[in-house]
Amino acid sequence: MSLSPENHPTTAAELIVIIDYGSQYTPLIARCLRDLGYRSESVSAAQCGAGLRARGVILSGGPESAGTGAKIPDWLLDQAVPLLGICYGMQLLVDAAGGKVHSDQQRAFGRDTIELATPDDPLFTGLPRQLVVWMSHCDHVGSLPADLQATAHNAAGVIAAVRHRRWPHWGVQFHPEVTHTSHGKAILANFCQHICAAPAGRGAAKAGREVVLARSALQRVDDLCARLKAEVGAGKVLAAVSGGVDSSVTAVLLARTLSQAQLCCVYINNGLLREHEAAAITAVLRELAIVPQSLDCQQEFVAALRGVTDAEEKRQIIGHEFVRQLEKFAQGKGFTHLAQGTLKSDVIESGGGERTHRIKSHHNVAALPAEMELKLLEPLRDLFKDEVRALGKALALSQRILQRQPFPGPGLAVRIVGEVTPSRLARLRAADAIYLAALHEHGLYDQTWQAFCVLLPLSSTGVRGDRRSQAATVVLRAVQSVDAMTASACELPIEVLATIAARITAQVDGVNRVVYDLTSKPPATIEWQ
């Protein structure tokens, strides 16, 4: 459907329209605008008919290169509609104006510092001259046409922001919508307020993030319960629970909405859990007053993964096996729906957009079988992790549950690079338990968003008892994040890391080397696979 005056006869002129070119971060643009109190709608370039009425248009990032992929609609470039190009969107603006976009060694991922050339620019009103921003691009602007001027550069002189000399068109090479860009939300607010003159609603722009989340969560609880009630009707729901915050919030929403006869929660022990994880899950569910059916499927999952080394294949096998075991349990019991704690980030990374590339198949999204007997029920599918935690707080879940660190559905299978075997699982469990215990001991666990070990299929030379040894390598990973869309490595004290490395190599058979992963997201993902 194209946006046009007919489609939005009274409200379209108040919208900020986001043209989605396939960026992983496009939904974050809409979320930022929503937090700021501005109304937006995401569309594809093909949906932008010449009758578009909007206060402003944001061109998202994307995985393609300017000149080879999608274009900005020609008619839009001839209008006085304010435009903001983000990353690939900026490159499209430059290309359309006759500038040059290059793909070479100037690619950048993660943190960068830029300096504003024109701090009085309305896009940067009220901001410091230097900004820490988050980059994710393989191409960069090489030269500008006469109609465009550079308004910011990084230390290497690469153009980080541009402005049209005649039209209200701006571009930024970085991503203001991600939490790791300092003042990113202020940049989007400046575009909406000072450039688009868009009306903000309910004073959300003045509220802090936690206030906005809490307000939205209270409104969402009743809405989600109503939608669940309407969708399930007189049906019966089988809910897959893991003890994590996502499935816990899903289970509590269902328990609040449905009768006891309509809901059955199931926990699957897939043999891919951390040490003592089963007991921790039981404690969480007991706190939620949920008594799940427990299915011991350890042998089935580990056997299905035998000989498999490819990460995507592992995820597909685990997704299929989950559904197979749940449908096997459900057979003859009258279940109509399968409920999961799927999040927006799961959908995005699984390639859930028109032009969005698949980063990895989440077992609960792209790894599901094409044909399923049960209808999927995913009430959190449009929310990010911090929004789910706020929802859990509104549902009165304890902090102990809400602050549980994320643990992937495929479990340790995606933290073992290469084949998953019982001996490698035991080795990783032991190393991971030492790592997490040390973080607790030194008061560092709560300072990380997610911390875990990875086992590599890489042996290295070592020495034990004056003898040569060949043993495996363990990677320590700890990151800071908000919504899992971007992440930065935690700078843990070197003396603590040295203590952890010494303990792992001394206590875990078959490991003689420990390294620390300092890579941000992007270019890496949080999990290794």
pLDDT tens per residue, range 6-50: 333 334 567 899 999 888 888 899 989 988 889 888 887 777 665
320 is catalytic: no
45 or 342: whose pLDDT is higher?
Answer: 342
Nearest Cα to 339, choosing from 242, 397, 254? Answer: 254
What residue type is 433 in one-letter code?
Answer: A
pLDDT value of position 357: 47
pLDDT tier at 414 (50, 70, 90 boundaries)?
A: very high
Residue with tokens 């000072």: 194
pLDDT for 74 beyond 60:
yes
Check 48, 137, 177, 490 and give the catalytic one. Answer: 177
What SS3 class is residue 37? Answer: coil
Characterize the bridge pairing of strands 83-86 and 56-59: parallel
Tell me the mean pLDDT in the region 382-394: 90
Check 175, 180, 337, 362 and give the catalytic one. Answer: 175
pLDDT value of position 62: 82
Helices 245-257 and 209-232 sit at what angle, rounded to 10 degrees? 50
pTM: 0.79
| 487 vs 80: CA distance, rounded Å | 37
| 92 vs 198: CA distance, rounded Å | 24
Nearest Cα to 526, choosing from 110, 181, 62, 60? Answer: 110
pLDDT tens by residue, 176-229: 999 889 999 999 999 999 999 988 764 444 455 565 666 678 888 989 999 999
Whether the domain at 209-402 and the domain at 421-517 fall into the same CATH topology: no
Tell me the mean pLDDT in the region 282-297: 87
The one-character DSSP state at 225 is H
pLDDT value of position 51: 63
87 is catalytic: yes
CATH number for the region 421-517 comes to 3.30.300.10
| 292 vs 298: CA distance, rounded Å | 17
Q: Tell which CATH architecture fits domain 14-204.
A: 3-Layer(aba) Sandwich (3.40)
For 369, list phi and psi in degrees, rounded to 5: -60, 150
Q: What does the block give as tokens for 194?
A: 């000072």
Check 48, 87, 192, 264 and give the catalytic one. Answer: 87
pLDDT for 480 beyond 50:
yes
What residue type is 64 in one-letter code?
Answer: E
209-402 is a CATH 3.40.50.620 domain? yes
Q: What does the block give as tokens for 226?
A: 């109503």
Segments making up each domain of the chain, as ranges? 14-204, 209-402, 421-517
Q: Secondary structure of the chain: what % helix, strand, coil (to 5)?
A: 35, 25, 40
Q: Lowest mean pLDDT: which of 76-85, 114-123, 343-352?
A: 343-352
- Integer CA distances (angstroms), 307 to 113, 302, 418, 420, 426, in order: 45, 10, 9, 8, 17
Whether a cis peptide bond, with omega within 30° of 0, leads into 523 is yes
The one-character DSSP state at 241 is -
177 is catalytic: yes
| 449 vs 426: CA distance, rounded Å | 24
pLDDT value of position 57: 93
Reading phi first (left if > 0) and then psi (alpha if -120 to 50, else beta), residue 491 is in: beta
pLDDT value of position 213: 67
Tell me the mean pLDDT in the region 328-349: 88
| 366 vs 409: CA distance, rounded Å | 13
pLDDT tier at 104 (50, 70, 90 boundaries)?
A: low
pLDDT value of position 354: 52
pLDDT for 2 beyond 70:
no
